[in-house]
Amino acid sequence: MAGDEFYDIHFHALSMSHPSLLSYLQTLRSRRLESIYSQVSSYDYLAKAMFRKGGERVQNLLAVMENEPGDTFLLMEDDLAGLYATSGDALPLLSEGLLEVGGSSYGKLVAVPLIMDFSRPGPYKPDTYYNRLPQKPVEAQILDVLAGVKYYRRKRPGGFLELHPFLGIDPANYSAASLAALLDKWFCGFVPGRRAGASVFSRMKRYDLDGPSRAWSPFAGVKLYPPLGFDPWPTDPLEREKVEYLYAFCEKRRIPIVTHCDDQGFRVISLEESWKRTSPRHYRSVLKRYPELWLDFAHLGQQYTSVRFRTPRSSWRDEIFSLMVEYPNVYADFSFNGVEASYYVQLVEALARLPAATRDIAETRIMFGSDFMINLAKVRSYADYFRIFGASPLSAEQKRRYASENPRRFLFGE
Protein backbone atom coordinates (compact mmCIF):
# COMPACT_ATOMS: atom_id res chain seq x y z
CA MET A 1 0.00 0.00 0.00
CA ALA A 2 1.22 3.50 -0.82
CA GLY A 3 0.74 4.68 2.75
CA ASP A 4 3.18 2.13 4.15
CA GLU A 5 6.66 3.03 5.32
CA PHE A 6 9.81 1.14 4.39
CA TYR A 7 12.27 0.76 7.30
CA ASP A 8 16.04 0.46 7.11
CA ILE A 9 16.63 -0.49 10.73
CA HIS A 10 20.43 -0.64 10.43
CA PHE A 11 22.83 1.67 8.60
CA HIS A 12 25.77 3.94 9.39
CA ALA A 13 26.50 7.59 8.65
CA LEU A 14 30.23 7.40 9.37
CA SER A 15 32.70 9.99 8.17
CA MET A 16 36.46 9.48 8.00
CA SER A 17 36.90 11.13 11.39
CA HIS A 18 34.67 8.68 13.29
CA PRO A 19 36.24 5.19 13.28
CA SER A 20 39.70 4.44 14.62
CA LEU A 21 41.12 3.02 11.39
CA LEU A 22 44.61 2.82 12.89
CA SER A 23 43.30 0.59 15.70
CA TYR A 24 41.77 -1.74 13.12
CA LEU A 25 44.97 -1.93 11.08
CA GLN A 26 47.09 -2.50 14.20
CA THR A 27 44.82 -5.38 15.21
CA LEU A 28 45.27 -6.97 11.77
CA ARG A 29 49.05 -6.54 11.92
CA SER A 30 49.42 -7.71 15.52
CA ARG A 31 47.28 -10.83 15.04
CA ARG A 32 48.35 -11.88 11.56
CA LEU A 33 47.49 -15.56 11.91
CA GLU A 34 43.91 -14.62 12.73
CA SER A 35 43.79 -12.36 9.69
CA ILE A 36 45.14 -15.08 7.40
CA TYR A 37 42.66 -17.59 8.79
CA SER A 38 39.79 -15.14 8.41
CA GLN A 39 40.64 -14.43 4.78
CA VAL A 40 40.87 -18.15 3.96
CA SER A 41 37.64 -19.18 5.70
CA SER A 42 35.40 -16.16 5.26
CA TYR A 43 34.53 -13.17 3.13
CA ASP A 44 36.54 -10.83 5.38
CA TYR A 45 34.95 -8.00 3.42
CA LEU A 46 36.82 -5.10 4.99
CA ALA A 47 40.23 -6.53 4.09
CA LYS A 48 39.34 -7.88 0.64
CA ALA A 49 37.64 -4.64 -0.38
CA MET A 50 41.01 -2.92 -0.19
CA PHE A 51 42.56 -5.09 -2.90
CA ARG A 52 39.87 -6.48 -5.22
CA LYS A 53 40.00 -4.90 -8.70
CA GLY A 54 42.61 -2.40 -7.64
CA GLY A 55 40.60 -1.31 -4.62
CA GLU A 56 37.51 -0.39 -6.66
CA ARG A 57 35.18 -1.24 -3.78
CA VAL A 58 37.09 0.66 -1.15
CA GLN A 59 37.21 3.69 -3.47
CA ASN A 60 33.43 3.50 -3.82
CA LEU A 61 33.14 3.23 -0.04
CA LEU A 62 35.42 6.24 0.47
CA ALA A 63 33.35 8.23 -2.04
CA VAL A 64 30.55 7.97 0.52
CA MET A 65 32.56 7.92 3.74
CA GLU A 66 34.36 11.18 2.99
CA ASN A 67 31.01 12.96 3.19
CA GLU A 68 29.64 14.41 6.40
CA PRO A 69 26.50 12.63 7.71
CA GLY A 70 24.07 15.22 6.33
CA ASP A 71 25.39 14.79 2.80
CA THR A 72 25.29 11.00 3.24
CA PHE A 73 21.56 11.22 3.98
CA LEU A 74 21.06 13.30 0.82
CA LEU A 75 23.14 10.81 -1.18
CA MET A 76 21.01 7.88 -0.01
CA GLU A 77 17.79 9.55 -1.13
CA ASP A 78 19.32 10.67 -4.42
CA ASP A 79 20.58 7.15 -5.13
CA LEU A 80 17.11 5.66 -4.69
CA ALA A 81 15.81 8.38 -7.02
CA GLY A 82 18.28 7.35 -9.75
CA LEU A 83 20.67 10.31 -9.60
CA TYR A 84 23.74 8.06 -9.83
CA ALA A 85 22.29 5.55 -12.30
CA THR A 86 24.44 4.52 -15.24
CA SER A 87 23.58 3.15 -18.66
CA GLY A 88 21.70 -0.13 -18.40
CA ASP A 89 20.51 0.39 -14.83
CA ALA A 90 16.92 -0.37 -13.89
CA LEU A 91 14.40 2.43 -13.41
CA PRO A 92 14.72 4.45 -10.18
CA LEU A 93 13.18 2.91 -7.10
CA LEU A 94 11.98 6.29 -5.81
CA SER A 95 9.72 8.29 -8.12
CA GLU A 96 6.93 10.81 -7.55
CA GLY A 97 7.11 10.38 -3.79
CA LEU A 98 6.83 6.58 -3.78
CA LEU A 99 9.46 3.90 -3.17
CA GLU A 100 8.74 0.76 -5.23
CA VAL A 101 10.34 -2.39 -3.80
CA GLY A 102 9.28 -5.98 -4.36
CA GLY A 103 5.96 -5.07 -5.91
CA SER A 104 4.86 -2.78 -3.05
CA SER A 105 4.80 1.00 -2.76
CA TYR A 106 6.00 2.95 0.26
CA GLY A 107 5.43 6.61 1.06
CA LYS A 108 8.44 7.14 3.33
CA LEU A 109 11.80 5.60 4.24
CA VAL A 110 12.29 5.42 8.01
CA ALA A 111 16.04 4.95 8.50
CA VAL A 112 18.07 4.30 11.66
CA PRO A 113 21.68 5.57 11.62
CA LEU A 114 23.65 3.65 14.25
CA ILE A 115 26.40 5.48 16.11
CA MET A 116 29.33 3.27 17.16
CA ASP A 117 31.43 3.93 20.25
CA PHE A 118 35.06 3.91 19.03
CA SER A 119 36.29 5.48 22.28
CA ARG A 120 38.36 2.43 23.26
CA PRO A 121 41.62 2.74 21.28
CA GLY A 122 42.59 -0.95 21.26
CA PRO A 123 45.56 -2.70 22.87
CA TYR A 124 48.10 -2.53 20.02
CA LYS A 125 50.28 0.59 19.90
CA PRO A 126 51.59 1.53 16.45
CA ASP A 127 55.32 1.06 15.86
CA THR A 128 55.57 4.49 14.27
CA TYR A 129 57.11 7.82 15.23
CA TYR A 130 53.74 9.08 16.49
CA ASN A 131 53.11 5.94 18.52
CA ARG A 132 49.86 6.96 20.17
CA LEU A 133 46.50 5.77 18.91
CA PRO A 134 44.18 8.71 18.21
CA GLN A 135 41.30 9.32 20.60
CA LYS A 136 37.84 8.94 19.11
CA PRO A 137 35.34 10.35 21.62
CA VAL A 138 31.81 9.26 20.81
CA GLU A 139 30.57 12.76 21.63
CA ALA A 140 32.08 14.07 18.38
CA GLN A 141 30.20 11.47 16.33
CA ILE A 142 26.99 12.24 18.23
CA LEU A 143 27.17 15.91 17.33
CA ASP A 144 28.07 15.14 13.71
CA VAL A 145 25.10 12.78 13.23
CA LEU A 146 22.60 15.05 14.95
CA ALA A 147 23.89 18.02 12.97
CA GLY A 148 23.55 15.86 9.85
CA VAL A 149 19.89 15.16 10.58
CA LYS A 150 19.31 18.87 11.12
CA TYR A 151 21.15 19.64 7.86
CA TYR A 152 19.10 17.11 5.90
CA ARG A 153 15.83 18.44 7.31
CA ARG A 154 16.75 22.00 6.43
CA LYS A 155 17.92 21.15 2.91
CA ARG A 156 14.86 18.98 2.26
CA PRO A 157 11.99 19.87 4.56
CA GLY A 158 9.79 17.53 2.54
CA GLY A 159 12.48 14.86 2.20
CA PHE A 160 11.70 11.16 1.82
CA LEU A 161 13.87 10.05 4.77
CA GLU A 162 12.76 10.06 8.39
CA LEU A 163 15.84 9.57 10.56
CA HIS A 164 15.94 8.13 14.08
CA PRO A 165 19.53 7.70 15.35
CA PHE A 166 20.69 5.11 17.91
CA LEU A 167 23.37 6.07 20.44
CA GLY A 168 26.51 3.89 20.56
CA ILE A 169 27.49 3.02 24.13
CA ASP A 170 30.16 0.87 25.77
CA PRO A 171 29.73 1.09 29.58
CA ALA A 172 33.38 0.08 30.08
CA ASN A 173 34.38 3.51 28.76
CA TYR A 174 32.56 5.25 31.63
CA SER A 175 32.41 5.31 35.38
CA ALA A 176 29.08 4.35 36.91
CA ALA A 177 28.32 8.02 37.55
CA SER A 178 29.31 9.21 34.06
CA LEU A 179 27.30 6.41 32.41
CA ALA A 180 24.22 7.47 34.35
CA ALA A 181 24.87 11.08 33.35
CA LEU A 182 25.27 10.11 29.69
CA LEU A 183 21.97 8.23 29.61
CA ASP A 184 20.16 11.02 31.46
CA LYS A 185 21.58 13.60 29.06
CA TRP A 186 20.68 11.91 25.79
CA PHE A 187 17.49 10.09 26.78
CA CYS A 188 15.99 12.86 28.86
CA GLY A 189 12.33 13.05 27.91
CA PHE A 190 12.38 9.77 25.99
CA VAL A 191 8.86 8.42 25.55
CA PRO A 192 8.28 5.20 23.59
CA GLY A 193 5.89 5.30 20.67
CA ARG A 194 5.58 6.93 17.29
CA ARG A 195 3.91 10.11 18.53
CA ALA A 196 6.98 10.97 20.56
CA GLY A 197 9.30 9.86 17.75
CA ALA A 198 7.61 12.02 15.14
CA SER A 199 7.64 15.00 17.48
CA VAL A 200 11.34 14.56 18.16
CA PHE A 201 12.11 14.28 14.47
CA SER A 202 10.22 17.46 13.73
CA ARG A 203 12.11 19.32 16.46
CA MET A 204 15.52 18.15 15.27
CA LYS A 205 15.39 20.35 12.19
CA ARG A 206 15.49 23.32 14.58
CA TYR A 207 17.92 21.70 17.00
CA ASP A 208 20.58 24.09 18.31
CA LEU A 209 23.59 21.95 19.22
CA ASP A 210 24.88 24.64 21.56
CA GLY A 211 21.46 25.51 22.96
CA PRO A 212 19.87 24.87 26.34
CA SER A 213 19.04 21.46 27.79
CA ARG A 214 16.34 19.57 25.93
CA ALA A 215 13.08 18.28 27.33
CA TRP A 216 13.07 15.52 24.66
CA SER A 217 15.43 12.84 23.40
CA PRO A 218 17.05 12.98 19.95
CA PHE A 219 17.77 9.22 20.07
CA ALA A 220 15.44 6.31 19.40
CA GLY A 221 17.62 3.53 20.86
CA VAL A 222 21.05 2.19 21.84
CA LYS A 223 23.74 0.48 19.72
CA LEU A 224 26.13 -2.12 21.23
CA TYR A 225 29.21 -3.51 19.47
CA PRO A 226 31.14 -6.40 21.10
CA PRO A 227 34.08 -6.56 18.58
CA LEU A 228 35.12 -3.11 19.81
CA GLY A 229 35.43 -4.54 23.32
CA PHE A 230 31.90 -4.35 24.73
CA ASP A 231 31.09 -7.32 27.01
CA PRO A 232 27.33 -7.97 27.34
CA TRP A 233 27.72 -9.79 30.69
CA PRO A 234 31.11 -9.11 32.35
CA THR A 235 32.43 -11.23 35.21
CA ASP A 236 33.97 -8.20 36.94
CA PRO A 237 31.40 -6.96 39.52
CA LEU A 238 31.98 -3.26 38.81
CA GLU A 239 31.64 -3.73 35.05
CA ARG A 240 28.59 -5.94 35.54
CA GLU A 241 26.96 -3.22 37.61
CA LYS A 242 27.33 -0.75 34.76
CA VAL A 243 25.89 -2.98 32.05
CA GLU A 244 23.01 -3.93 34.35
CA TYR A 245 22.31 -0.25 34.88
CA LEU A 246 22.15 0.20 31.09
CA TYR A 247 19.80 -2.76 30.60
CA ALA A 248 17.54 -1.74 33.47
CA PHE A 249 17.43 1.84 32.13
CA CYS A 250 16.43 0.63 28.65
CA GLU A 251 13.96 -2.02 29.82
CA LYS A 252 12.12 0.39 32.09
CA ARG A 253 11.77 3.05 29.38
CA ARG A 254 11.21 0.61 26.48
CA ILE A 255 14.35 1.83 24.69
CA PRO A 256 15.28 -0.63 21.90
CA ILE A 257 18.83 -1.99 21.62
CA VAL A 258 20.69 -3.19 18.51
CA THR A 259 23.75 -5.39 19.08
CA HIS A 260 26.23 -6.50 16.43
CA CYS A 261 25.90 -10.24 15.81
CA ASP A 262 28.13 -11.64 13.12
CA ASP A 263 31.75 -12.72 13.47
CA GLN A 264 33.31 -10.09 11.22
CA GLY A 265 33.27 -6.31 11.13
CA PHE A 266 35.44 -3.69 12.76
CA ARG A 267 37.37 -5.58 15.46
CA VAL A 268 40.08 -4.42 17.89
CA ILE A 269 40.12 -7.46 20.20
CA SER A 270 41.14 -11.07 19.59
CA LEU A 271 39.01 -13.26 17.35
CA GLU A 272 38.37 -15.67 20.23
CA GLU A 273 37.26 -12.93 22.61
CA SER A 274 35.15 -11.24 19.95
CA TRP A 275 33.47 -14.58 19.18
CA LYS A 276 32.63 -15.12 22.84
CA ARG A 277 31.23 -11.63 23.42
CA THR A 278 29.27 -11.47 20.16
CA SER A 279 27.59 -14.87 20.42
CA PRO A 280 23.84 -14.59 21.13
CA ARG A 281 24.30 -17.30 23.75
CA HIS A 282 26.22 -14.72 25.80
CA TYR A 283 22.98 -12.71 26.03
CA ARG A 284 21.03 -15.48 27.75
CA SER A 285 22.06 -14.18 31.16
CA VAL A 286 21.05 -10.67 30.08
CA LEU A 287 17.58 -11.74 28.95
CA LYS A 288 17.03 -13.97 31.96
CA ARG A 289 17.60 -10.93 34.16
CA TYR A 290 15.81 -8.45 31.83
CA PRO A 291 13.18 -10.52 29.96
CA GLU A 292 11.25 -7.51 28.62
CA LEU A 293 14.30 -5.96 26.92
CA TRP A 294 13.75 -4.98 23.28
CA LEU A 295 16.86 -6.47 21.63
CA ASP A 296 17.76 -6.74 17.93
CA PHE A 297 20.55 -9.15 16.95
CA ALA A 298 22.03 -7.48 13.86
CA HIS A 299 23.03 -9.56 10.84
CA LEU A 300 20.85 -12.43 12.15
CA GLY A 301 23.90 -14.15 13.62
CA GLN A 302 25.71 -14.64 10.30
CA GLN A 303 28.89 -16.71 10.77
CA TYR A 304 31.93 -17.00 8.52
CA THR A 305 34.75 -18.36 10.72
CA SER A 306 32.83 -21.02 12.64
CA VAL A 307 35.03 -23.85 11.35
CA ARG A 308 37.75 -22.67 13.69
CA PHE A 309 35.42 -22.98 16.64
CA ARG A 310 33.96 -26.32 15.49
CA THR A 311 30.37 -25.13 15.51
CA PRO A 312 27.85 -25.17 12.66
CA ARG A 313 27.67 -21.95 10.70
CA SER A 314 23.99 -21.67 11.54
CA SER A 315 24.46 -22.00 15.32
CA TRP A 316 24.12 -18.28 16.09
CA ARG A 317 21.08 -17.91 13.86
CA ASP A 318 19.48 -20.98 15.45
CA GLU A 319 20.20 -19.56 18.90
CA ILE A 320 18.51 -16.28 17.94
CA PHE A 321 15.40 -18.13 16.75
CA SER A 322 15.36 -19.98 20.09
CA LEU A 323 15.61 -16.69 22.01
CA MET A 324 12.74 -15.27 19.95
CA VAL A 325 10.53 -18.12 21.17
CA GLU A 326 11.56 -17.62 24.80
CA TYR A 327 11.48 -13.82 24.99
CA PRO A 328 8.75 -11.55 23.58
CA ASN A 329 10.92 -8.66 22.38
CA VAL A 330 13.90 -10.39 20.72
CA TYR A 331 14.28 -9.40 17.06
CA ALA A 332 16.94 -9.76 14.35
CA ASP A 333 17.85 -7.82 11.22
CA PHE A 334 19.67 -9.21 8.18
CA SER A 335 21.73 -6.09 7.49
CA PHE A 336 24.70 -6.63 5.16
CA ASN A 337 23.70 -10.27 4.54
CA GLY A 338 21.55 -9.25 1.58
CA VAL A 339 24.51 -8.07 -0.52
CA GLU A 340 24.17 -11.36 -2.39
CA ALA A 341 20.94 -12.81 -3.80
CA SER A 342 21.89 -16.28 -2.53
CA TYR A 343 21.41 -15.13 1.06
CA TYR A 344 17.65 -14.88 0.64
CA VAL A 345 17.52 -18.40 -0.77
CA GLN A 346 19.30 -19.61 2.36
CA LEU A 347 16.95 -17.62 4.59
CA VAL A 348 13.84 -19.07 2.94
CA GLU A 349 15.27 -22.57 3.35
CA ALA A 350 16.23 -21.96 6.99
CA LEU A 351 12.74 -20.72 7.85
CA ALA A 352 11.15 -23.71 6.11
CA ARG A 353 13.15 -26.08 8.33
CA LEU A 354 11.91 -24.50 11.57
CA PRO A 355 9.05 -26.03 13.56
CA ALA A 356 5.81 -24.29 12.59
CA ALA A 357 5.39 -22.52 15.94
CA THR A 358 8.98 -21.21 15.87
CA ARG A 359 8.64 -20.11 12.24
CA ASP A 360 5.45 -18.18 13.01
CA ILE A 361 7.25 -16.23 15.73
CA ALA A 362 10.39 -15.64 13.65
CA GLU A 363 8.27 -14.25 10.81
CA THR A 364 7.12 -11.45 13.13
CA ARG A 365 10.65 -10.60 14.38
CA ILE A 366 12.90 -10.49 11.29
CA MET A 367 13.72 -7.02 9.93
CA PHE A 368 15.30 -5.45 6.85
CA GLY A 369 18.60 -3.66 7.33
CA SER A 370 21.19 -2.50 4.82
CA ASP A 371 24.39 -1.86 6.85
CA PHE A 372 25.04 1.00 4.44
CA MET A 373 27.78 2.30 3.96
CA ILE A 374 29.75 -0.75 5.15
CA ASN A 375 27.88 -2.93 2.67
CA LEU A 376 29.64 -1.09 -0.18
CA ALA A 377 32.51 -3.50 0.44
CA LYS A 378 30.35 -6.08 -1.34
CA VAL A 379 27.57 -4.27 -3.24
CA ARG A 380 27.74 -1.34 -5.67
CA SER A 381 25.12 0.94 -4.16
CA TYR A 382 22.38 1.58 -1.63
CA ALA A 383 19.80 1.20 -4.41
CA ASP A 384 21.25 -2.13 -5.56
CA TYR A 385 20.88 -3.56 -2.05
CA PHE A 386 17.16 -2.68 -2.19
CA ARG A 387 16.86 -4.22 -5.65
CA ILE A 388 18.39 -7.51 -4.50
CA PHE A 389 15.86 -7.63 -1.66
CA GLY A 390 12.98 -6.77 -4.00
CA ALA A 391 13.93 -9.54 -6.45
CA SER A 392 14.46 -12.17 -3.72
CA PRO A 393 12.38 -15.37 -3.41
CA LEU A 394 10.75 -14.02 -0.26
CA SER A 395 7.00 -13.73 -0.69
CA ALA A 396 5.37 -10.32 -1.09
CA GLU A 397 3.92 -10.74 2.39
CA GLN A 398 7.34 -11.49 3.89
CA LYS A 399 8.89 -8.48 2.19
CA ARG A 400 6.24 -6.14 3.60
CA ARG A 401 6.51 -7.74 7.01
CA TYR A 402 10.32 -7.55 7.22
CA ALA A 403 10.59 -4.06 5.73
CA SER A 404 7.58 -2.40 7.34
CA GLU A 405 5.49 -4.15 9.97
CA ASN A 406 8.20 -5.78 12.10
CA PRO A 407 10.64 -2.83 12.29
CA ARG A 408 7.79 -0.40 13.00
CA ARG A 409 6.81 -2.54 15.99
CA PHE A 410 10.43 -2.85 17.17
CA LEU A 411 11.17 0.85 16.84
CA PHE A 412 7.89 2.39 17.98
CA GLY A 413 5.88 -0.41 19.59
CA GLU A 414 3.12 -0.06 16.99
CATH value at residue 351: 3.20.20
Host domain of residue 189: 5-412
Q: Which of 8-17, 54-63, 202-211, 281-290 has the lowest mean pLDDT?
A: 202-211
CA-nearest of 249, 316, 237 to 282 is 316
Give burial (CB, 10 Å; 0-12/13-18/19+) of 323: buried
In tens, the pLDDT along 272-328 reads 898 999 999 999 999 999 999 999 999 999 998 755 555 667 899 999 999 999 999
pLDDT > 90? residue 161: yes
Check residue 28 and give its pLDDT.
58
Q: Which residues pair with 295 in a beta bridge?
A: 257, 330
Sign, CA torsion 267/270/273/275: positive
Would you give the end-to-end CA distance of the chain in angstroms?
Answer: 17
| pLDDT value at 270 more than 90 | no
- Count of structural domains within the chain: 1
Least confident of 173-177, 283-287, 308-312, 334-338: 308-312
Question: What pLDDT is attached to residue 265?
Answer: 79
CB 362 within 8 A of CB 326: no
For residue 37, the model assigns a pLDDT of: 45
- Please state which of the ranges 144-153, 198-207, 218-227 shows the lowest mean pLDDT: 198-207
Task: Round the average pLDDT of the chain to a whole number and report it.
Answer: 87
Coil, strand or helix at 214: coil
Of 25-34, 206-215, 244-253, 266-275, the one with minimum mean pLDDT is: 206-215
Q: For residue 16, is pLDDT > 70? A: yes
pLDDT tens for 98-151 read 999 999 999 999 999 999 998 876 666 777 787 777 778 899 999 999 999 999
Answering whether pTM is above 0.85, one says yes
